[in-house]
Amino acid sequence: MLGYFDQLKTNELTPSGTPKDNFHFSQDTAEYNELSQSGISSGYGFDWEFGSTTVPRVLTVRFTEPGSPAATAGVPRGATLSRINGVDFVNDNTQQGVNAINAALFPEDAGTVTSFEFVQVDGPTLSVDITSGDISVTPVQNAKVLDTENGKTGYFQFNTFIVTAQEGLIDAFDMFVEENVTELVIDLRYNGGGRLALASQLSYMIAGPNQTNNATFETLRFNDKNPNTNPVTGETVRPTPFYRNVIDYNAGQLTDTLLPSLSLTKVYVLATGATCSASEAVMNALRGIDVEVVQIGSTTCGKPYGFYPTDNCGETYFTIQFQGVNNKGFGDYADGFMPTTTPNFDFELPGCEVEDDFTASLGDPNEGMLSAALEYAATGSCPEVVTSNGVADVKALRSNQSALGGEKLIPIDKPEQRKENFILHNKINQPVIQERK
């Protein structure tokens, strides 16, 4: 079945020459259900930034999940891995060493003790033993209100559109409403997507009732053989509205409880190449109702497509089945949304190109991307580009590879690859949620 499934993948390219389908995959159904419903996965609690998977390897901590073994061990953002279980993580190019690294980075069982050695941004080495466990993902983190030149500015880090995110989003927006926030910065730099219903709810909480009234969050566009009928459900294609109510996700129904909202006409989004799918759907949907989206960071991953997860004999399959378009009918951003000072195309957004800054914590006003957003809000222009982000220069490191004498470089695996596939390349559409009768 898997072999046949892989043969169905298209070989077509986007206008820029990149593959149209980078997102076709399958996953064990039990694992998929556990992660999508509860946000629980196994590991240490690291979210990694891969600079290089071959020597000289660069693996940097983006952040650690609150309460996880990695967080408890005090491993800070920006720390780079130097040794693991005694193996030289950066330079070991033996198969034995690579196997040991792979086994240590993502152990099969909880309770595995692994020795890590990190080089921190400020220089000193940090050596810690960390025990793997079941990690509960916290989708909404670092929600806060900042006093800025432009008034009260809300900020929150949002990592994934899973069911458990609803409560965190509501708590954050309740705080923003209570504090009379007039500017909002949403940190989506590591948010790869998830449930479109949550994306619709978030968009409503930003834009409020007046701007979303009778407007469409997103409409699914299938192929030319199915212009009006959903070939998966057999139902007439109906636009997804901006959901303004709390959702009972277990029952798949809207409740009578109204969501908090800010009714903003402009929002600042921190984005990178890891900003994907449902995150991009939020950006696209807001632009579809003329809410200005200012993009700070770099080009997003470019995924206007999505799936209906389909189980078959314990394996859940994800195939590109639809494209999402906004209230204006736009959904052509397969090469990603791009920040620019002079937007000319619909996939170009006003904003600034800024590198991810690993020298400061997420949510710190001095962190490069957040700082740039705050300066843009105050002045309407981009700051000087920050060139030092605390991550090793891979090109410079590669210039020193002559010692390998042309030896074949052995790549390590990426940790939690299945989780990454599910989160980073997914735009989950479930049947339209009906109002409670």
Closest C-alpha among 28, 45, 24 to residue 36: 28
**Structure tokens belonging to residue 18:** 């990149």
Closest C-alpha among 72, 166, 86, 78 to residue 119: 78
- From CA 357, how far away is CA 388, in angstroms rounded? 8
pLDDT band at 422 (very low <50, low <70, confident <90, very high): very low
- From CA 194, how far away is CA 9, in angstroms rounded? 21
Q: How many angstroms from the chain centroid is the CA of residue 235?
A: 30
- From CA 67, how far away is CA 39, in angstroms rounded? 14
Mean pLDDT to the nearest integer, 33-58 = 82
The owner of tokens 């968009």 is 203
Question: Is 191 exposed, middle or buried (CB count within 10 Å of its CB: 0-12, 13-18, 19+)?
Answer: buried
Closest C-alpha among 306, 309, 244 to residue 281: 306
> What amino acid occupies position 102?
N
Look at residue 409 in the predicted model and tell me its pLDDT.
94
Look at residue 310 in the predicted model and tell me its pLDDT.
83
Neighbouring C-beta atoms of residue 239, cutoff 10 Å: 14
- From CA 111, how far away is CA 70, in angstroms rounded? 13
Strand partners, 128: 116
HSE-up of 108 (CA within 13 Å, CB side)? 2
Average model confidence (pLDDT) for the chain?
87
Neighbouring C-beta atoms of residue 264, cutoff 10 Å: 21
Look at residue 392 in the predicted model and tell me its pLDDT.
45
> What amino acid occupies position 236?
T
Look at residue 216 in the predicted model and tell me its pLDDT.
97
Question: Is 315 exposed, middle or buried (CB count within 10 Å of its CB: 0-12, 13-18, 19+)?
Answer: middle
Reduced to 3 states (helix: H, G, I; strand: E, B; else coil), residue 377 is helix
The region of weakest confidence among 91-95, 153-157, 222-226 is 222-226
Q: Is the pLDDT of residue 35 over 80?
A: no
Q: How many residues does the chain have?
A: 437
Mean pLDDT to the nearest integer, 32-43 = 65
196-212 and 278-288 helices cross at what angle (nearest 10)?
A: 10
Reduced to 3 states (helix: H, G, I; strand: E, B; else coil), residue 177 is helix
Q: How many angstroms from the chain centroid is the CA of residue 272?
A: 9
- pLDDT, tens digit, for every residue of 101-145? 999 998 878 899 999 999 999 889 999 999 999 888 899 999 999
**Structure tokens belonging to residue 222:** 């299938």
Neighbouring C-beta atoms of residue 29, cutoff 10 Å: 17
Mean pLDDT to the nearest integer, 151-174 = 96
> Do 119 and 125 meet the contact criterion of CB atoms below 8 Å apart?
yes
Q: Is the pLDDT of residue 433 over 60?
A: no
Most confident of 37-51, 330-344, 384-398: 330-344
Handedness of CA 44, 49, 51, 52 (dihedral sign): positive
3-state secondary structure 219-258: EEECCCCCCCECCCCCCECCCEECCCEEEECCCCEEEEEE
Mean pLDDT to the nearest integer, 254-261 = 96
3-state DSSP helix/strand/coil percent for the chain, to nearest 5? 25, 30, 45
- pLDDT, tens digit, for every residue of 346-377? 999 999 999 999 999 999 999 999 999 999 99
> Do 265 and 240 meet the contact criterion of CB atoms below 8 Å apart?
no
